[in-house]
Structure 1
Amino acid sequence: MSATNSEPTILDRYEDFRTRRFLRHEETYANALPRWRTQHRRRMLVVGIAASLGLMACVSVVCAFGFRQAALLWIPATLVFFPMWIMLQIASGRQGDAPRRTLDEFELQQRNNARSIGLVVTQNLMLLPIGYLIIASTTMRDVDAKAALDMAYAGGLMTLAVLMIGGCLPVMILGWTRRSDEVTG
């Protein structure tokens, strides 16, 4: 197969599929939540999402100290997080995860910058649960099974919280920084 062959690769076909799906969803939600498309309202959603993610992170740390009942606070944080996350995605035109073919050069640059920040934050924050699990597993060699389960559970919650923060950060950055007139929909 030569480099000039125009046959699409599996990545090209997947990108085409993502683009078609994105455009279909964009058409469906283009007029949804019109009052939430202003910068002020999007910032309110970003603050709410940040608070719920912060609560999740705090719950994971409290669970690391053996307070397993603290995990019950994860439920209300999740119940607050998901509706606000969906609203922010709709209100910001899903620019944080839009396929490149649906964005102009400026939007693509903004999205890529936000994704880059999200990746760096994820990589750096992930050192916390990794460090916790490494240190706890080496210092807790002679503990009972319940303590080992608590450690693994807390480490899992920490990891999940970090991944959610990093995954949400690009759209949170775009929702916070883009002016009201820059959001299409």
Structure 2
Amino acid sequence: MSERPDILTRYQAYRTRRFLENDAKTRHWLPNWRTQHRRRILVVAVLAADLTFVVVSISTLFFSWAAIVWIPAAVIFIPIWTALQTVSGRHSDAPTGALDEWEVQQRNEARSIGLTVTQGLVLVAAFALIFLSTTFPDLPRLAYAGGGWTLAALMIGISTPAIILAWITPDPEPEDIEYFDQQ
């Protein structure tokens, strides 16, 4: 009887294949933004958008109209986030089979930090909700604001691995650029 790979092995092979196909399509996009300096500009822009989410979510506790600011903040965040992911090669999302050992180690460390950031910020949001709901039980927008705080915490945590990897990854070697240009 032949040994068929289990479903997780097949799924990882599928993910690796899809990642490599998408990488082949996008590796030439935004070539001037692939330097470390330009990636850092995108990182600062993503951090500013993340901070905007925090400010907006806190503001919703006091002003009901502040919730509408989520829409333009998200509209600004999405293309900046997409550009950052594109120019950094989506290494924070890459399956293990698409990366070398050093890249896997870097990715895993960045993901670990991202998880810690997510847990810490969501914990702060939960404690704020607990404290405010017991101290000021009649705050009319507390539940909505708490949802915004949690969503902002998740957005920051989700973007943290890509931010770290985009910030620390050095510029590609010239021979790597030539290799990709020939492909």
TM superposition score normalised by structure 2:
0.89
CA shift, 1:76, in A, is 2.2
The one-letter amino acid of 2:50's match is L
For 1:134-149, what aligned pairs fall within 5 Å after superposition? 134-141=130-137, 143=138, 147-148=139-140
2:54 aligned to 44, 54, 57, which one?
Answer: 57
1:110-139 CA distance string (max 9 Å, x none)? 101100110111111111210122223333
Residue number in structure 2 paired with 1:16: 13
CA shift, 1:162, in A, is 0.5
CA shift, 1:72, in A, is 2.4
Residue number in structure 1 paired with 2:148: 157
- Whether 1:27 aligns to 2:18 is no
2:172 is paired with a residue whose SS is helix
1:53-103 CA distance string (max 9 Å, x none)? 101101111212x21112222222212211110001110000011000000
The one-letter amino acid of 1:63's match is T
- Whether 1:181 aligns to 2:172 is yes
1:122-157 CA distance string (max 9 Å, x none)? 11111121012222333344x3xxx44x11110111
Q: Which moved more, 1:35-44 or 1:19-28?
A: 19-28
- Whether 1:84 aligns to 2:96 is no
- Whether 1:118 aligns to 2:114 is yes
Which structure 1 segments of 5+ residues have no match?
A: none
TM superposition score normalised by structure 1:
0.88
Rounded to whole Å, the distance in 2 between the matches of 1:108 and 1:102 is 9
| Displaced runs of 4 or more, over 4 A | 182-185
Which structure 2 segments of 5+ residues have no match?
A: none
Residue number in structure 2 paired with 1:37: 34
Residue number in structure 2 paired with 1:166: 157
What is the identity percentage for the equivalent residue pairs of Structure 1 and Structure 2?
Answer: 49
Rounded to whole Å, the distance in 2 between the matches of 1:38 and 1:138 is 50
